[in-house]
């Protein structure tokens, strides 16, 4: 039972670790435009901080792995010694069993000799005491030729009795000695079998402990692989942020050059205008002509359209958003033509119509505007998914900055991913 729960706990731990790794990979780096902060510099700093933590985690896991490996090696050494002792014990058991079999055979032989000696002695006694022939005991005494012969015959018969008794004592002693040896060997065999059972129990415990340590080693390998994969992603992400930082610096440098160039051009233009004005004054040009030139120049400036959110409908939102279908997707981008990400797309569409405080990150749209149930969804409503945001256009479809590969699209179903929120902005800001 203890082994069962240990195996279950290892399986649960691996499952939890796998879920955490998938959550880290898919919930952070897979979502364009929603990592850490809104600036590449902030993203880079936080990614470097996380990378440092991941490297520290790898060091800790590696240290634990080395300790587990050392413990596993120690257990393997103990198991090897135990198996060697067990092999010697099995050989000793085999030799003891052989000795027991030989002792049993010797005991049977001793008992047989004792029985044969006893039967021979009975025959001699019966022959000497019970037979009435001339060779009997009494006949031997009666036929003695004198006292000396009688005494010699009595001494011979006594010697026969003594020899028989000594032989029987020797047989009996041999039987008892072999019996004692057999009992000793039996006790020794029982002790050896008990020791063998203890060895087998120790072997089972060592093998179970080694299996658990091997499972830990496998789990450490999975953790290290996941951490190293995360580190590779972070390094790639940091390189991407460095690239964005360089591009931003290059853009600012060009903007600064353009600004200076424009200032220089403006200065020259003003000088030329001043020179022209002086020439015009000299040529007595009318003030009306000067105003006409000023008006002509102002016509080249871009016209700003001030839109009132209260006059905007969901269809207006959808019609404007669909104009940009086919344009590129760009992580962190803020241009509907040059490229933007999912949250940037929704932000730019609504900001165009004068809506204020439009979020820039996808998950911030969960609290923007008012909540709408799925059955009440209308064109122009904002649909929020895990790590993504889009605009509902009707007929069960959405318009969105989908991905770098797909760009801005309007062909996916509103239920293509799990919906976490539907928010309505049109009419909400007017009420508030």
87-139 pLDDT tens trace: 998 888 988 888 898 888 888 888 887 787 777 776 766 665 554 444 455 56
Instruction: Note whether 15 and 108 are same-domain residues.
Output: yes
Does 255 map to a domain? no
How confident is the model at residue 125, as a pLDDT? 63
Of 196, 49, 198, 170, whose CA–CA distance to 114 is shortest? 170
Of 375, 380, 372, 385, whose CA–CA distance to 322 is shortest? 380
Does 388 map to a domain? yes
Instruction: Note whether 240 and 321 are same-domain residues.
Output: no
Please say whether the beta carbons of 386 and 15 come within 8 A: no
How confident is the model at residue 284, as a pLDDT? 53
Partnered with residue 371 across adjacent β-strands are 423
How confident is the model at residue 25, as a pLDDT? 41
Instruction: Note whether 408 and 325 are same-domain residues.
Output: yes
Helices 147-282, 40-125: axis angle to 10 degrees equals: 170
Please say whether the beta carbons of 414 and 293 come within 8 A: no
* Residues of the chain under the 50 pLDDT cut: 1-2, 4-6, 8-10, 12-13, 16-17, 19-34, 131-135, 285-305, 430-431
Does 295 map to a domain? no
Residues 6+ apart with CB under 8 A from 51: 231, 234, 235, 238
Instruction: Note whether 199 and 58 are same-domain residues.
Output: yes
- Supply the range of the domain harboring residue 368: 309-431
Residue 407 backbone class (left: φ over 0; alpha: ψ -120 to 50; beta: rest) = left
How confident is the model at residue 6, as a pLDDT? 46
Does 83 map to a domain? yes
At CA 381, angle to CA 378 and CA 386, rounded to 5? 125
Q: What is the rounded CA–CA span in Å between residue 252 and residue 259?
A: 10
Instruction: Note whether 234 and 96 are same-domain residues.
Output: yes
Q: Which residue has the tokens 């016209």?
A: 303
Tell me the CA distances in angstroms from 4 to 8, 12, 13, 75, 186, one per residue in order. 6, 12, 14, 21, 39
Please say whether the beta carbons of 352 and 337 come within 8 A: no
Of 279, 256, 259, whose CA–CA distance to 267 is shortest? 259
Does 323 map to a domain? yes
Instruction: Note whether 339 and 423 are same-domain residues.
Output: yes
Helices 147-282, 2-24: axis angle to 10 degrees equals: 10
Please say whether the beta carbons of 390 and 346 come within 8 A: yes
Look at residues 220, 245, 270 and tell me which one is the last residue of a structural domain.
Answer: 245
How confident is the model at residue 46, as a pLDDT? 87
Tell me the CA distances in angstroms from 223 to 27, 47, 49, 56, one per residue in order. 18, 20, 19, 13
Does 14 map to a domain? yes
Does 250 map to a domain? no
How confident is the model at residue 377, as a pLDDT? 95
How confident is the model at residue 110, as a pLDDT? 80
Look at residues 245, 262, 278 and tell me which one is the last residue of a structural domain.
Answer: 245
Instruction: Note whether 234 and 352 are same-domain residues.
Output: no
Total tally of structural domains belonging to the chain: 2
| SS (HEC) of the chain | CHHHHHHHHHHHHHHHHHHHHHHHHHHHHCCCCCCCCCCHHHHHHHHHHHHHHHHHHHHHHHHHHHHHHHHHHHHHHHHHHHHHHHHHHHHHHHHHHHHHHHHHHHHHHHHHHHHHHHHHHHHHHHHHHHCCCCCCHHHHHHCCCCHHHHHHHHHHHHHHHHHHHHHHHHHHHHHHHHHHHHHHHHHHHHHHHHHHHHHHHHHHHHHHHHHHHHHHHHHHHHHHHHHHHHHHHHHHHHHHHHHHHHHHHHHHHHHHHHHHHHHHHHHHHHHHHHHHHHHHHHCCCCHHHHHHHHHHHHCCCCCCCCCCHHHCCHHHHHHHHHCCCCCCECCCCEECCCEECHHHHHHHHHHHCCCCCCCCCHHHHHHCCEECCHHHCCCCCEEEECCEEEEEEECCEEEEEEECCCEEEEEEECCCCCCCEEEECCCHHHHC
The two tokens of residue 315 are 């269809």
Look at residues 204, 220, 245 and tell me which one is the last residue of a structural domain.
Answer: 245
Partnered with residue 401 across adjacent β-strands are 408
Instruction: Note whether 70 and 163 are same-domain residues.
Output: yes
Residues 6+ apart with CB under 8 A from 55: 231
pLDDT in tens, 272-307: 888 887 777 676 544 434 433 333 333 322 233 456
How confident is the model at residue 177, as a pLDDT? 84
Instruction: Note whether 43 and 185 are same-domain residues.
Output: yes
Instruction: Note whether 226 and 314 are same-domain residues.
Output: no
Where residue 366 sits, what CATH number does that domain have? 3.90.1720.10
Instruction: Note whether 22 and 155 are same-domain residues.
Output: yes
Does 299 map to a domain? no
What's the sign of the alpha-carbon dihedral 252, 257, 258, 263?
positive
Instruction: Note whether 154 and 230 are same-domain residues.
Output: yes
């Amino acid at each position: 039972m203890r082994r069962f729960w240990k195996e279950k706990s290892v399986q649960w731990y691996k499952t939890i670790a796998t879920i955490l790794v998938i959550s880290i990979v898919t919930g952070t780096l897979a979502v364009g435009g929603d990592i850490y902060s809104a600036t590449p510099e902030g993203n880079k700093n936080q990614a470097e901080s996380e990378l440092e933590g991941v490297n520290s985690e790898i060091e800790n896991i590696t240290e634990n792995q080395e300790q587990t490996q050392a413990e596993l090696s120690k257990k393997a050494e103990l198991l090897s010694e135990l198996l060697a002792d067990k092999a010697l014990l099995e050989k000793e058991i085999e030799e003891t069993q052989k000795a027991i079999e030989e002792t049993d055979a010797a005991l049977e032989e001793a008992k047989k000799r004792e029985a044969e000696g006893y039967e021979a002695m009975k025959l001699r006694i019966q022959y000497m005491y019970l037979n009435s022939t001339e060779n009997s005991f009494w006949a031997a005494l009666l036929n003695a030729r004198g006292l000396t012969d009688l005494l010699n015959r009595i001494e011979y018969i006594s010697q026969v009795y003594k020899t028989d008794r000594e032989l029987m004592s020797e047989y009996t002693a041999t039987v008892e000695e072999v019996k004692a040896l057999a009992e000793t060997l039996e006790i020794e065999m029982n002790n050896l079998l008990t020791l063998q059972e203890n060895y087998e129990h120790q072997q089972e415990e060592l093998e179970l402990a080694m299996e658990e340590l091997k499972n830990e080693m496998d789990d450490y390998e999975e953790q290290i692989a996941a951490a190293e994969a995360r580190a590779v992603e972070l390094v790639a992400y940091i390189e991407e942020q460095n690239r964005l930082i360089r591009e931003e610096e290059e853009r600012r440098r060009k903007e600064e050059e353009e600004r200076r160039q424009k200032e220089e051009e403006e200065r020259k233009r003003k000088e030329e205008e001043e020179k022209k004005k002086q020439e015009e004054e000299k040529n007595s040009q009318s003030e009306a002509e000067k105003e006409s030139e000023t008006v002509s120049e102002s016509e080249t400036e871009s016209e700003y359209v001030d839109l009132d959110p209260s006059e905007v409908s969901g269809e207006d939102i959808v019609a404007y958003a669909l104009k940009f279908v086919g344009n590129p997707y760009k992580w962190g981008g803020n241009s509907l033509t040059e490229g933007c990400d999912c949250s940037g797309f929704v932000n730019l569409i609504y900001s165009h119509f004068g809506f204020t405080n439009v979020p820039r990150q996808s998950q911030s749209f969960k609290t923007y505007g008012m909540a709408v149930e799925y059955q009440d969804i209308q064109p122009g409503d904002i649909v929020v998914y895990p790590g993504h945001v889009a605009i509902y256009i009707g007929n069960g479809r959405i318009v969105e900055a989908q991905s770098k590969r797909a760009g801005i699209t309007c062909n996916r179903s509103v239920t293509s991913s799990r919906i976490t929120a539907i928010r309505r902005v049109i009419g909400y800001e007017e009420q508030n």
